[in-house]
């Protein structure tokens, strides 16, 4: 069973996964290596009817495809350049210590990014902590247990969650989720888990916990639908083989399906994380928008995306604007690091070197 599948590209159905066909030499080369008349009859026929026709389209195609690949790289470089260029003033003023400064005072021109970096990371990981088990549960139910008639409906409903605009999630967060949290969930957490220090302090309903829950709901469809696709791709005979060895249904799902699908699942989780890191509107409506580092999840926090969205339009001073752009740079770097770490995680799961035998 092949173990390494690129998580960013949903794997091919595992049953049909084959060793890739050895790359064919380009037609132009074949021209040189093969004497005319040695090619297949069909090729021969094509060649004779369209002399030299294969070379120009081939070259054009190669250049075009190369351009599309390079354009992604160029865009990223331009983004980084623009971020560094526009945050020059702030970089000059605060230097690298901007990234661990804890003060954010637009009136006196003191800026630091740490509370925002902290808020972004904590709320995103909280979201994943809640969303991953839920999504996998949803996917297992849909692929393994759900009556076939209901399958399409449930998948549709899960994917529908992804279609709801984030401002709607935000409003729902303020008017439905926050009161629920304040009245029932937070007092319960404070009573039972207050000793950990994560669930103490005044209960507003709005805060880090609310942001984590809202984002969890938003990333569930991403992770669930990818997980479902990957699990569907596990060949039926894998399941049957495990069952034939006397496994229970749970063992079959665990050993026969989840084990085979784990790389795709991690890929889905990374995509979900990407959405969580960049989520702006829904989060800013429920997180409390306070640039503060507090251990308690009840306390309000702030994220990088939120502060940019909140303050960019009315930022008048040059230094202020520059600091906001540098927050964007910080967000870019954090995303890069988190994605790199996630890649490492995938490699460690597959237990092999990157891009080993596919």
Residues engaged in binding other proteins (CB under 8 A):
103-108, 170-171, 174-175, 178-179, 182, 202, 204-206, 284-285, 288-290, 300, 302, 306, 309-316
Q: Which residue's CB is nearer to other proteins, number 47 or number 86?
A: 86
Q: Which residue's CB is nearer to other proteins, number 21 or number 107?
A: 107
Residue in 116, 126, 102 with CA at minimum distance from that of residue 280? 116
Q: Which residue's CB is nearer to other proteins, number 264 or number 301?
A: 301
* Cβ proximity of 173 and 210 under 8 Å: yes
Q: Which residue's CB is nearer to other proteins, number 87 or number 306?
A: 306
Q: How far is CA 217 from CA 132, 161, 163, in A?
A: 10, 8, 12
Query: To the nearest whole angstrom, how small is the minimum distance from the Cβ of residue 323 to other proteins?
Result: 11
Query: To the nearest whole angstrom, how small is the minimum distance from the Cβ of residue 204 to other proteins?
Result: 6
Q: Which residue's CB is nearer to other proteins, number 57 or number 179?
A: 179
- Considering only CA atoms, give the Rg of the chain: 26
Q: How far is CA 198 from the centre of its chain?
A: 26
Query: To the nearest whole angstrom, how small is the minimum distance from the Cβ of residue 112 to other proteins?
Result: 11
Query: Taking CA 285 as the corner, what is the angle to CA 327 and CA 198, rounded to the nearest 5 degrees?
Result: 80
How far from each other are the two terminal CA atoms of the chain, in whole angstroms?
10
Query: To the nearest whole angstrom, how small is the minimum distance from the Cβ of residue 316 to other proteins?
Result: 5
Query: To the nearest whole angstrom, how small is the minimum distance from the Cβ of residue 85 to other proteins?
Result: 17
* Cβ proximity of 207 and 298 under 8 Å: yes
> Cα dihedral angle (237, 239, 243, 247), rounded to 10 degrees?
150
Q: How far apart are CA 356 and CA 43, in angstroms?
A: 35
* Cβ proximity of 282 and 169 under 8 Å: yes
Q: Which residue's CB is nearer to other proteins, number 236 or number 316?
A: 316
Query: To the nearest whole angstrom, how small is the minimum distance from the Cβ of residue 300 to other proteins?
Result: 5
Total residue length of the chain: 358
């Amino acid at each position: 069973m092949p173990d390494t599948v690129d998580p960013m590209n949903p794997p091919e159905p595992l049953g049909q996964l084959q060793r890739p066909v050895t790359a064919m030499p380009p037609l132009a080369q074949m021209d040189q290596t093969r004497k005319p008349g040695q090619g297949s009859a069909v090729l021969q026929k094509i060649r004779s009817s369209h002399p030299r026709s294969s070379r120009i389209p081939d070259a054009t195609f190669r250049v075009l495809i190369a351009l599309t690949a390079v354009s992604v790289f160029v865009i990223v470089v331009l983004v980084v350049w623009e971020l560094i260029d526009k945050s020059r003033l702030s970089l000059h003023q605060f230097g690298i210590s901007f990234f661990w400064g804890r003060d954010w005072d637009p009136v006196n021109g003191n800026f630091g990014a740490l509370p925002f970096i902290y808020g972004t990371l904590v709320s995103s990981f909280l979201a994943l902590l809640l969303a991953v088990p839920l999504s996998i549960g949803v996917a297992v139910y849909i692929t393994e247990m759900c009556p076939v008639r209901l399958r399409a409906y449930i998948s549709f409903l899960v994917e529908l969650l992804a279609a709801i605009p984030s401002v709607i999630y935000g409003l729902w967060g303020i008017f439905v989720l926050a009161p629920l949290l304040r009245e029932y969930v937070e007092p319960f957490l404070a009573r039972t888990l207050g000793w950990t220090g994560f669930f103490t302090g005044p209960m507003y309903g709005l805060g880090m916990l609310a942001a984590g829950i809202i984002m969890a709901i938003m990333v569930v469809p991403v992770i669930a639908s990818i997980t479902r696709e990957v699990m569907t791709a596990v060949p039926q005979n894998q399941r049957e083989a495990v069952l034939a060895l006397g496994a229970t249904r749970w063992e079959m799902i665990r050993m026969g399906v989840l084990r085979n699908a784990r790389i795709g699942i991690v890929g889905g989780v990374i995509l979900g994380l990407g959405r969580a890191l960049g989520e702006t509107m829904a989060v800013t409506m429920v997180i409390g928008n306070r640039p503060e580092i507090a251990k308690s999840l009840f306390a309000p926090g702030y994220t990088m995306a939120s502060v940019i969205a909140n303050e960019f339009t009315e930022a008048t001073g040059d230094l202020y604007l520059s600091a906001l752009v540098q927050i964007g740079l910080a967000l870019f770097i954090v995303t890069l690091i988190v994605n790199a770490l996630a890649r490492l995680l995938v490699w460690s799961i597959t237990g092999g070197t990157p891009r080993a035998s596919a």
